[in-house]
Structure 1
Amino acid sequence: MTDAAPAVLFTEPGARWRTIAYGPLLCLVVLILELVLRGEVHWFGLVFCAALLAGFVWLQVIAGRRHVSVELTDTTLREGGEVLPLSAIDRVLPERDEDAWDDEPWQSARALGELTGVPRRRKGIGLKLRDGGIVQAWARDHLRLREELTAAVDRLPEGDEEVR
């Protein structure tokens, strides 16, 4: 009997492969303009720039997919390279009150993943763990992740003490 793969409830890739093509496409546009305007065509410079841009962006995409991707299944939450079993989560903490003067305690908690904090252009979500600790999950679409994560944690059986 084989185990079925867990259902993916939410995913963010961190970076998209198509961004590698943007630099070379820009160089192609410049090449076409040089050909149409019948000026000097800078073959070497355009090919060199296209390859250089594609190479640097390729490295950024690899890093983004490794360190800034998010995947929520019905059993785990993966933030970058860190995997947290849903059974370790006691509850999803409420959003920050925008009118409050003070920050919520979870806003200064450790962010999940191997980065030092919540990545840029992502919003944190407070999680209270069963062992009493508090951490931050994060995502670009933090509202949807919060909704899916709350529903997934609520579906867990009450007596699930697999963490301890």
Structure 2
Amino acid sequence: MEITELSVNGKSHRLEADSRVTLLDALRNHLGLTGTKKGCDHGQCGACTVIVEGRRINSCLTLACMHDGDEITTIEGLGEPGNLSQLQSAFVAHDGFQCGYCTPGQICSATAMIEEAKAGWPSFVSDDLEGPDRLSDEEISERMSGNLCRCAAYPNIVNAIRQVAGEKS
């Protein structure tokens, strides 16, 4: 057994688990944070997206022990009932979900993606290497392409992200 200190949503957790436990399984099974979903368990759907040290990652593809001391933010750390984050509120306002299974990963990914764009990180469709002047639908879709929605709520998801990023609908 390996002992790992995880900082999740601003709280320190001492995790005693096998060194092969993924971050996803540590969050869900050891810490009881079930907002992060297990979709494909192969890093292809994005349902398990969390934010680690400000960057979005697929928690099913990384081991918990690799994040000893890192600051991890899950959907539970972004907002809560009665005090939703801007993106959570925008997803509700724009009906950016149907079944809701992918929604935690979508919101975590979008939260970090907006910060990436503000920092000037270019995407594959950015006009230049200085990043986008604005987050167009094409830019948002490209940046969110690692998060799948089986219900196809993509237009509403894009509208919610655009609202929070300051773009006009």
* TM-score bucket of the superposed structures, by smaller chain: under 0.3
Query: Which has the larger strand fraction?
Result: 1
Q: TM-score, normalised by structure 1?
A: 0.24
Which TM-score applies when normalising by structure 2? 0.24
